[in-house]
Structure 1
Amino acid sequence: MKARAGWSRVARMSGQAVLTLASIVVLVFLLVRLIPGDPVKVILGVEYTPEKAAALRAQLNLDKSIPEQFVAYIGGLLRGDLGQSTAQRGRSVTDVIAGALPTTMSLVIAGILLGVIVGTTLGLLAAISTRRGVDVTVRTWGMLSFSVPTFLVALLLIFVFALSLRILPAGGWPNAWPDNLLYLILPAIALSVHLATAISRTVRQGAIDTMGQQHMEAAFARGLPPRLLNLRHVLPNSVLPVLTIVGISFGTLLTGAIIVEAVFGIPGLGAEMTRAVGRRDYPVVQGIALVTGVVVVLSSFVVESLYTFVDPRARTL
């Protein structure tokens, strides 16, 4: 019965995910069509000629009716064709994204891992430490770090560790593993700060609530060592909400990655998006918007599905 309730919730979430993905596809399709005036003139700018306009209009299927354009757009998506870049001649949008996405995902995954480890550790320390100063320090750090913008955190890290101490690179990307790991440290720290703060608050409160329950007091009265008590009961119940936080924060992390990439000069989706906007390369902007939207929806769906089977209480939601 419990498994059936879990699969029922996953089915409901699947329907919501499909509707969300459909909405993203429609919005991305309308991106170029909602540009005021003639989008072809906007894209070409000073290079506008009737011949170039006609060629670009045909490339973007703007010479067809809206229904025909939408059918062609969906057909391209089903084939994995996101169109051609208007600024990078001879390169498809798929190639542009495929070249940048692994770098961005490396940064996001590193930020998530660092945020989960640091946030969980600080949250547990604040909850179980017998020294009040530890809790006050963790909460003060949380308030300060959460109020500082990501780009400012990145600049402070560069100033301290790259310019002052000279122990880590200030930016760049060698594009070769494992050399990339050294260049990933500061960007991952900058990206993980807000996530670690949110996780530490949640884990701290979860641990305090768990330690106040009767079965915990009974286990302590039976002589179960505090370290074993924390490991068996406090930790598992405190980290369950972390899955949800990571899923909800994934979109924010992708957005933050774009800012961090700009500060550290990392050639990911952020750099490609910035160049595409500057060059008015709207097919690339469309493609990046679509791919990031799909990644966010799918990651949230996967995390919520896992949470459904890890925590039985979620099956009743």
Structure 2
Amino acid sequence: MAFIARRLAAAVLLLGVLSVLSYTLLAAAPGNLEQVLLGPRPSTPEARAAIRAEFHLDDPVPVRYAAWLSDAVRGDFGTSVYTREPVTEIIADRLPVTAGLAGYALILTVGIGVPAGLAAAMRRGSALDQGITLSALVALAIPTFAMSILLLYVFAVTLGWFPVFGAGETAAERIVHLTLPAIALATGQAALLIRQMRAAALDLVGQDYLTFARARGLSLPRIWISYALRNTALPVLTVGGLLLAANLTGALFVERAFGLQGLGALLVGAVGQKDIPVVQALVLLGGAVVVGVNLLIDLAYLAVDPRVRHGAVAA
């Protein structure tokens, strides 16, 4: 419990530092903050006075930050300058698309990367190993936006198997609409996981317990699946968690290519419109996702590897 408490305290501290930095940098950004917040509305003295009163622009930055933080911890991130809607409602409307894409891509990444990496390690030096390694290198070399365009042209435009844009309405439609974006997002990530999995599995080849398992006459697939897979779980958890965080916070090119109205498109629009409340909330949300995923990885370490669990207890 002490280990978990320390990790939670560190997570809260990191989020606090991130909120201070993001708020301060946005407040210090070039340009007239009053005019930015006013947006395209007529610039009358009354309108400017209302904006300054609503956003407390006459107060010092630390006072404004304290007021914003007090509302933020209660889930109130203010109102969008551009749409005048609550920021939490805007994010809640866009989050399911990004979360669905991130989860779908992670399933594809793990479902392809783990078996392919193990297969390459089991047949080290064979044609299968060389083919998987070469395919992973090619996949890593293809930019995500280029893969998105290629998939769109081949499977959506030419063959017509998948829709060109949008996220669908029902659950079944959403799966169909997100298939090509998820493949585009997962291609490079699966290649990265294959290389990581193969390297981690090859490190176990000379371990005594694998030699003993072979001496007992166990089959090669059973040795690798029953013994090696769990001992390669730590690097896989690390890479998988980081990829999930990257999917939730950085699937911008894929969302733009496939016309998905997710958090990436929302962030681009908010930055272009100088919608500061939305940008602040998205930056904090991105930091919370990264910190939360890393905390979950630490907890997964405790569940998977007894050595980590005993070390945490001793500390």
Q: Give the TM-score, by structure 2 length.
A: 0.91
Conservation of the 8 A alpha-carbon contact between 2:37 and 2:51: no
In structure 2, the residue matched to 1:217 is 211
Q: Deviations over 1:164-186 (max 9, x none)?
A: 22211222122322211000101
Mean CA deviation greater in 206-215 or 295-304: 206-215
In structure 2, the residue matched to 1:4 is none
Mean CA deviation greater in 45-54 or 253-262: 45-54
In structure 1, the residue matched to 2:308 is 314
Query: 2:158 aligned with 1:147, yes or no?
Result: no
Distance 2:272 2:217 in 1: 66
Query: 2:36 aligned with 1:80, yes or no?
Result: no
1:289 to 272, 283, 292: 283
Residue 270 of structure 1 deviates from its aligned partner by 1.5
Superposed CA RMSD: 2.0
Query: 2:226 aligned with 1:242, yes or no?
Result: no
Unaligned stretches of 5+ residues in structure 1: 1-6
1:201-280 correspondence to structure 2 within 5 Å: 201-280=195-274
Residue 155 of structure 1 deviates from its aligned partner by 1.0
Q: Deviations over 1:130-189 (max 9, x none)?
A: 671111111112222222221111111112211222211222122322211000101111
Distance 1:197 1:12 in 2: 34
Distance 2:195 2:234 in 1: 13
Distance 1:11 1:249 in 2: 25
Q: How many residues align?
A: 310
In structure 2, the residue matched to 1:177 is 171
CA distance change for structure 1 residues 227 and 249 in 2, over 3 Å: closer, same or farther?
closer
Conservation of the 8 A alpha-carbon contact between 2:37 and 2:275: yes
Distance 2:62 2:166 in 1: 44
Equivalent position amino acid for 2:284 in 1: L
Residue 95 of structure 1 deviates from its aligned partner by 0.7
2:46 to 48, 51, 63: 51
Mean CA deviation greater in 169-178 or 256-265: 169-178
Residue 210 of structure 1 deviates from its aligned partner by 2.0
Give secondary structure in 2 for the equivalent of 1:178.
helix
In structure 2, the residue matched to 1:94 is 88
In structure 1, the residue matched to 2:299 is 305
Equivalent position amino acid for 1:294 in 2: A
Conservation of the 8 A alpha-carbon contact between 1:261 and 1:268: yes
Conservation of the 8 A alpha-carbon contact between 2:119 and 2:129: yes
In structure 2, the residue matched to 1:61 is 56
Distance 1:65 1:23 in 2: 19
Query: 2:176 aligned with 1:193, yes or no?
Result: no
Seq. identity, %: 37
Mean CA deviation greater in 161-170 or 44-53: 44-53
Give secondary structure in 1 for the equivalent of 2:171.
coil
Distance 1:272 1:116 in 2: 28
Conservation of the 8 A alpha-carbon contact between 1:150 and 1:256: no
Residue 233 of structure 1 deviates from its aligned partner by 0.7
Distance 1:213 1:301 in 2: 30
Conservation of the 8 A alpha-carbon contact between 2:156 and 2:162: yes
Residue 259 of structure 1 deviates from its aligned partner by 1.9
Equivalent position amino acid for 1:180 in 2: R
Distance 1:196 1:313 in 2: 28
